[in-house]
Chains A and B, each alone.
Chain A
């Protein structure tokens, strides 16, 4: 019950979206910019942000009659300037060979000049525009599908929706066109939305038909989680830049990735939909409130804040599935000594080493002063030890307190004989018992090395 209220308080509903976020942040001028694709294209381009190239525009029936069809390239996209929800977009893949003025559509069917003319007439008449006002039709370059997305996208280009607020990217979703959506990425047309972890750009949960959570791409066995979006940081900073330029305080930026050009803006949205919350299994309101009032000076700073605040779900998820904790190559760890003494150090996580070892000084601090001293008093080295019999050695070490074992270690510094002690290691909040060797590491960068033997419960992330 408490969880119910806690979670529902984080969700952004229609009322709050309109009243608290769109109204005060997206002023009329900015909204007009977002609703006018040609204008937002122009303004983004002026700020050196990547947009699909404009080929031609047709403002009225006169211009349509006088249009020179030979100026069109092999492939293009035809769009209504004030269209919304992906309606009225026509994607042409190539020119039909040996036939005058005939093209091939996304689904392989043919389309003639007359069909295109009818479509443009409809656009100009306002059939696809908000509130039916007369509109402009325009041709733009067709973006090429990234290889990575090929198996996931049905005859269209996936795009990435980023919600940016107060110069911080707060939530993101990958939108995949499906058979049902006829190659359009919009959710209300039947596209699939996949949540994205803000820190890593890796996909998480997927939503279909607005509310249904799915694991696999409909009609296939392709898992939708775990796709790593390329250019992730770049995409986030593009979204923030677009927010600065457009003046949309609460922005939904749609960015596609072109095979050759990389991230490219498709559209700016002044009234982003709310289903993105389901794809991310998290409420927007909670995230927006955390970002509200922060003083963010640069786009880079905003991106860093977004990645830090709203990332990390993936790591937790992997940890949940594998039952293992994730640590880095260099990790802050806690050494726990004989009487529970705790020392925090930076340790090198080294899968090349079998055993873990710590610096002599650390061992002393952990309560093994006597052990170290008595071992050192014996004045042993590898050469002496090598020639001793097993029981001879055992006799020698019996008197040393708290000595767990000894080991002969071959390392880049030569071969050494070392004493070993039993301590506890705590890494990423997981404590494991460890038998570690003691050696003078005072000249080395890290006072401790953790080897394979103590890493069984961990996964190592290489950054």
Chain B
């Protein structure tokens, strides 16, 4: 075993924590890559990263996805309801978080009724994270409109699911525990990404008409 890893473990750092911290640079680098080279935007870098870890913390990813979709669907619905009241930003978000919270509770109970105990036993940490996702969602709705907000939410979901599979890939975890410094290699890679001025893959599609023209 790598001396750094054994040092950490022998001093009481839990293995899970160690793995998550070492894998975090890879996840955020992947998100940066998706934005700069592929053109999938998502809600910035924090939200998809934290949703990835929320997925890791739910026992099964399908429950994570169900909760995520519920939050976004409720967020859209409640925004529609609240539009006519013309409320100020923070009170409006407070109401949304409340309603989304209750919707998640209802979802857990329904899961229990249909003997989906896995859903009810999801720990509170991922649930809270995903409920607060609604604030990001509302902010984007206001800034860029409802359509864009839904597109970005779907992109966030896609990135987080990919992140989940990367972060729970046993071969990668084993590798990173043997060579923890590999994580730092993301820094030069990000310097490269940060200087990248080429077209994003999505832009080849967006500007296809110009590319096609004579």
The answer to whether A and B assemble together is: yes
Q: Total interface residues on A, using CB and 8 Å?
A: 31
Contact A132 B200, beta carbon cutoff 8 Å: no
Contact A13 B199, beta carbon cutoff 8 Å: yes
Determine whether A428 belongs to the interface, using a CB cutoff of 8 Å to chain B.
Answer: no
Interface stretch (choices B152-160, B174-182, B206-214): B206-214
Question: Which residues of chain A in 122-136 are interfacial with respect to chain B, using CB atoms and an 8 Å cutoff?
Answer: 122, 125-127, 130, 132
Contact A126 B210, beta carbon cutoff 8 Å: no
Most interface-central of A8, A15, A20 (chain B CB within 10 A): A15
The proximity string for A residues 1-31 relative to B, scoring 1 for CB distances below 8 Å and 0 otherwise, is 0011001101101111001100000000000
Q: Which residues of A contact B36 (CB under 8 A)?
A: 15
Q: Which residues of A contact B83 (CB under 8 A)?
A: none
Taking the closest CB of chain A, its distance from the CB of B14, in whole angstroms, is 37
Q: Which residues of B contact A213 (CB under 8 A)?
A: 209
Q: Total interface residues on B, using CB and 8 Å?
A: 26
Q: Which residues of B contact A282 (CB under 8 A)?
A: 210, 213
Contact with B142, one of A4, A7, A127, A283 (Cβ below 8 angstroms): A127
Determine whether A409 belongs to the interface, using a CB cutoff of 8 Å to chain B.
Answer: no
Contact with B198, one of A4, A13, A122, A211 (Cβ below 8 angstroms): A13
CB-based nearest B residue for A15? B197
Question: Which residues of chain A in 402-426 are interfacial with respect to chain B, using CB atoms and an 8 Å cutoff?
Answer: none
Contact A118 B197, beta carbon cutoff 8 Å: no
Complex CA–CA separation, A448 to B165 (angstroms) = 79
Question: Which residues of chain A in 80-125 are interfacial with respect to chain B, using CB atoms and an 8 Å cutoff?
Answer: 85, 118, 121-122, 125
Question: Which residues of chain B in 169-211 are interfacial with respect to chain A, using CB atoms and an 8 Å cutoff?
Answer: 195-200, 203-204, 206-207, 209-211
Contact with A281, one of B195, B197, B206, B210 (Cβ below 8 angstroms): B210
Contact with A11, one of B89, B139, B145, B207 (Cβ below 8 angstroms): B207
Question: Which residues of chain B in 63-118 are interfacial with respect to chain A, using CB atoms and an 8 Å cutoff?
Answer: 86, 88-89
Complex CA–CA separation, A283 to B36 (angstroms) = 19
Taking the closest CB of chain B, its distance from the CB of A212, in whole angstroms, is 9
Contact with B211, one of A11, A19, A121 (Cβ below 8 angstroms): A11
Taking the closest CB of chain B, its distance from the CB of A135, in whole angstroms, is 12
Question: Which residues of chain A in 256-287 are interfacial with respect to chain B, using CB atoms and an 8 Å cutoff?
Answer: 277-278, 281-283
Q: Which residues of A contact B86 (CB under 8 A)?
A: 118, 122
Query: What residues make up the interface of B, taking CB atoms closer than 8 Å to A?
Result: 36, 39, 86, 88-89, 139, 142-145, 195-200, 203-204, 206-207, 209-214
A-B contact pairs, 7 of them (CB 8 A): A19-B197, A125-B88, A125-B89, A130-B143, A281-B213, A282-B213, A283-B210
Task: List 18 extra interface pairs beyond A15-B200, A85-B144, A277-B210, CB under 8 A.
Answer: A3-B214, A4-B211, A7-B213, A8-B204, A13-B203, A15-B199, A16-B199, A19-B197, A122-B86, A125-B89, A127-B89, A127-B142, A130-B143, A132-B89, A132-B139, A210-B206, A213-B209, A281-B209
